Amino acid sequence: MSETQVHQADAELNSADDSVDEASDEQVRDNPEQHERLVPVSEAKKYRKRAQAAEKILEDFKVELAQKNETLQEQRQTIADMQRQRLIDELLVDSDAIDLETTRLLTEMALSEMAEPDVEQAVAELRTRKPFLFRSTARGATALSPKAENNQTSLARSMEHAAAEAHASGNRTALLRYLRLRRRS
């Protein structure tokens, strides 16, 4: 093909494109509804990609929200457990429990067996079933002689001192001394 033939073919194609564009413009002018629906392909692709990205972000947020809700439920359960444990400890201290950890575990077991858990009732039942885990109220309720009261006070002071020494030094001998004093009280 010669250059003139190439230019002529190119000119024909351009005029054909112009006539198609003019024809489509005339159709759009004649039918405005069709003009509203027509969107260039490049923009349609761009909108579709944006929509897909937005849907992916939405799914990510849904997953993240589900994880946060699960974490929130776990934290609420932990708080409820800690509050129940604090209540148990307070009631056991008020009941003069000798070994707080043991009585707490036994109270927890009793609560797990109850249909409707009641901490006060569980502590009261534990006190009646296993009185050896609690200090005797009869001993504290009777009038003690001044000498007996001094012995109690000095024993308590000795026990506090031994506990502090065992804690600070980590020495086994100090720990055993504290445990013997504790058993005596």
User: What is the average pLDDT value for the chain, to the nearest integer?
Assistant: 78
Same domain membership, residue 83 and residue 125: yes
Residue 21 pLDDT > 60, yes or no?
no
Please, is 20 exposed, middle or buried when counting C-beta atoms within 10 Å of its C-beta (0-12, 13-18, 19+)?
exposed
For the record, the structure tokens of 95 come out as 């009941």
Same domain membership, residue 131 and residue 146: no
Using DSSP, state whether 122 is helix, strand or coil: helix
Give, in order, the Cα–Cα distances in Å from 166 to each of 60, 105, 113, 169, 185. 54, 25, 37, 5, 17
Q: Is residue 48 part of a domain?
A: no
Domain range spanning residue 149? 142-185
Same domain membership, residue 165 and residue 127: no
What confidence score (pLDDT) does residue 43 get? 87
Residue 62 pLDDT > 90, yes or no?
yes
Q: Is residue 161 part of a domain?
A: yes
Q: Is residue 35 part of a domain?
A: no
Q: Is residue 3 part of a domain?
A: no
Q: Could you tell me which residues come within 8 angstroms of residue 28 by beta carbon, excluding any fewer than 6 positions away?
A: 34, 35, 38
Same domain membership, residue 114 and residue 81: yes
Among 52-61, 85-94, 118-127, 143-152, the range scoring the smallest mean pLDDT is 143-152
Q: Could you tell me which residues come within 8 angstroms of residue 87 by beta carbon, excluding any fewer than 6 positions away?
A: 119
Same domain membership, residue 83 and residue 112: yes
**136: phi then psi, degrees, rounded to nearest 5:** -70, 130
Provide mean pLDDT across the span 14-41.
Answer: 54
Distance from first CA to last CA of the chain, Å, rounded? 118
Same domain membership, residue 182 and residue 112: no
Residue 56 pLDDT > 70, yes or no?
yes
What confidence score (pLDDT) does residue 80 get? 93
Same domain membership, residue 150 and residue 128: no
Residue 25 pLDDT > 50, yes or no?
no
The larger pLDDT score, comparing residue 56 to residue 2, is at 56
Q: Is residue 9 part of a domain?
A: no
For the record, the structure tokens of 160 come out as 């506090």
Same domain membership, residue 90 and residue 153: no
Distance of CA 92 to the CA centre of its chain: 28
Residue 156: which pLDDT band, with cuts at 50, 70 and 90? confident
Q: Is residue 146 part of a domain?
A: yes
Q: Is residue 28 part of a domain?
A: no
Residue 82 pLDDT > 80, yes or no?
yes
Q: What distance in Å separates the CA atoms of residue 162 and residue 179, rounded to the nearest whole number?
A: 9
Q: What distance in Å separates the CA atoms of residue 93 and residue 87, rounded to the nearest whole number?
A: 10
Number of domains in the chain: 2
- pTM, two decimals, is 0.46
Same domain membership, residue 103 and residue 75: yes
Which of these, 81, 91, 156, lies nearest to 127 by C-alpha position?
A: 91
